[in-house]
Amino acid sequence: MGNRNLFTLIPKIDELLEKDEIKELMRDIPRITVVDTIREEIEDLRGKIKNGISEEEIESTINNLPSHIQAKAQKKDSYKLKRCINATGVVIHTNLGRSLINKKIMENVLEVASHYSNLEFDLEKGQRGSRYSHLEEIIKDVVGGEAAMVVNNNAAAVMLVLSTMAKGKEVIVSRGELIEIGGSFRIPDVMSQSGANLVEVGTTNKTHLWDYEKAITENTAALLKVHTSNYRVVGFTSAVDSEELSVLKEKYDIPIIEDLGSGVLVDLSKYSLEYENTVQDSLKRGVDVVTFSGDKLLGGPQAGVIVGKKKFIDACKKNPLTRAFRVDKFTIAALEGTLKYYLDEKKAMEEIPTLRMLTMTKETLNKKSRKLKELIENNIDSAYIEIEIEDSYSEVGGGSLPTERIPTKCVVLDIKKISINSFEENLRHYDIPLIARLNKDRVYLDVRTIEDEEIELVVKGIKYALGVED
């Protein structure tokens, strides 16, 4: 007889749409999504019949169809950009959204975004204002400088500054600082896009003050320093710092621009991390214009901050590119909130998630790892999984402090019944995807980047990935 008549058992789309569960589903989920899901399920069913599954199995699949459709349609309807759990220990993880914003700040972001605001309205004068005004004072209070503005990201900040200060002119850069950051941000390319002409000086490992001086011509518009964020040149090296460069600045009246990358605003060596040149340091050393990211070590939203001499910042504000690079109200609100914490360094270290995670104490890491291990042991049979706590290292990430290895604690899983690769894949498909590190056939969960209130979710995710949900 063959399987042909089994096809007649497959319900029609319209029949399914009339079922109560499906009708109920369409109250929350658009009909088009539900219909798509039904089509896929039916297609699936046809495939199964072609592959010769039994009549019994077909019947039970059909009986379960509405609940299946419900689950699938809900998944289809969920947000594409969504919260994840970062168990990698990479704090500023560019692929996972870099810095987290403190929820207390988000209350004001929500308030501003869901109501009208004074985004470009001067409440004192009762007339049109500037969106940059909200951040300028706080930036100056925190880092110094005569003026400041904020654009979409640091790449845009560098481009805007070069275009404003050096279009059609020459900018001198050390060969040791011609960096690529990733996402195809390369200093030579940014330079040519901005219309400035790159003049390379020195060698990869050594650049001297006289290299810069020899390259100065009447066409020189600026000296550019670029922070080599994501790598280090070690050994027989020498670079000219901005303080030395300011000698040339005085002598030839040429401004210094510095792309600082990460935007460190506190001396991290006080917290057992590597010392990083802060924005304040650069300004004190005589740099005229400093640019840095908002969402790397500063710990705020994606943004590019430009701070320094008023005449250059004013010129940047008038550049038509500024309109193309401008920040929206969400960014302004989140950055203002983040910067306010810096008025009190202790608060910044406690309230800014990036800084809090980077400086997490040993005791906290121990406590968290023990809590996670215990919770897994209490919830999952040891036939499925073996658990250990191991010393390991976290990374700063985001191309910041690349040589820094921060001691951490990992909960390490040995997966028994399924392959480690399917386990890892399942973790990624959990409702709140869990991103972990694999090493030598074991799964590493670095507790530094797992928030306290996420520990139970991690256990649920593991149960889901093992297929032992209750």
Least distance (Å) between residue 71 CB and ligand PLP? 38
Distance CA 379, CA 93 (A): 30
For ligand PLP, the closer CB: 16 or 162: 162
Query: What x/- string results for residues 301 through 340 when contact with ligand PLP is judged by CB under 6 A?
Result: ---x------------------------------------
Least distance (Å) between residue 95 CB and ligand PLP? 13
Three-state DSSP class for residue 198: strand
Instruction: Candidates 61, 86, 102, 153: give the one binding ligand PLP (CB under 6 A).
Output: 153
| Part of the chain binding ligand PLP (CB under 6 A), chosen from 105-113, 222-230, 242-250, 376-384 | 222-230
Instruction: Candidates 101, 226, 352, 411: give the one binding ligand PLP (CB under 6 A).
Output: 226
For ligand PLP, the closer CB: 259 or 281: 259
Query: What x/- string results for residues 392 through 431 when contact with ligand PLP is judged by CB under 6 A?
Result: -------x--------------------------------
For ligand PLP, the closer CB: 258 or 336: 258
- Alpha carbons within 13 angstroms on the beta-carbon side of residue 160 total 32
The one-letter amino acid code at 235 reads G
For ligand PLP, the closer CB: 66 or 399: 399
Angle at 188 between CA 178 and CA 96, to 5 degrees: 75
* 154 is a contact residue toward ligand PLP (CB under 6 A): yes
Find residue 408's DSSP bridge partners.
Answer: 392
* 109 is a contact residue toward ligand PLP (CB under 6 A): no
Least distance (Å) between residue 159 CB and ligand PLP? 10
| Part of the chain binding ligand PLP (CB under 6 A), chosen from 13-21, 103-111, 130-138, 257-265 | 257-265
The tokens for 277 are 């040149």
| Part of the chain binding ligand PLP (CB under 6 A), chosen from 44-52, 151-159, 355-363, 452-460 | 151-159
Least distance (Å) between residue 444 CB and ligand PLP? 26
Distance CA 326, CA 153 (A): 9
Distance CA 80, CA 20 (A): 28
| DSSP conformation letters of 136-171 | HHHHHHHH--SEEEEES-HHHHHHHHHHHHHTTSEE
Beta strands at 256-261 and 289-293: parallel, antiparallel or unpaired = parallel
- Give the interface size with ligand PLP as a residue count (CB under 6 A): 15
* 134 is a contact residue toward ligand PLP (CB under 6 A): no
Cβ atoms of 232 and 403 within 8 Å: the answer is: yes
* 185 is a contact residue toward ligand PLP (CB under 6 A): yes
* 461 is a contact residue toward ligand PLP (CB under 6 A): no
Positions 37 through 96 that interact with ligand PLP (CB under 6 A): none
Beta strands at 220-226 and 437-439: parallel, antiparallel or unpaired = unpaired
The residues, ordered by sequence, that sit 6+ positions from 418 with a Cβ below 8 Å of its Cβ are 466, 467
The tokens for 44 are 């699936």
Report the residue closest to ligand PLP, judged by CB.
261
Beta strands at 127-128 and 289-293: parallel, antiparallel or unpaired = unpaired
Distance CA 137, CA 129 (A): 14
User: First vs last Cα of the chain: how many Å apart?
Assistant: 41
Burial category of 364 from C-beta neighbours within 10 Å (exposed 0-12, middle 13-18, buried 19 and up): middle
Least distance (Å) between residue 402 CB and ligand PLP? 10
Instruction: Candidates 41, 170, 258, 259: give the one binding ligand PLP (CB under 6 A).
Output: 259
Instruction: Candidates 88, 102, 229, 394: give the one binding ligand PLP (CB under 6 A).
Output: 229
Local structure of residue 401 (DSSP, 8 states): S
Cβ atoms of 134 and 122 within 8 Å: the answer is: no
Least distance (Å) between residue 464 CB and ligand PLP? 33
For ligand PLP, the closer CB: 255 or 398: 398
For ligand PLP, the closer CB: 92 or 427: 92
Find residue 223's DSSP bridge partners.
Answer: 172, 256
Q: Which residues bind ligand PLP (CB under 6 A)?
A: 153-155, 158, 181, 185, 226-227, 229, 259, 261-262, 293, 304, 399
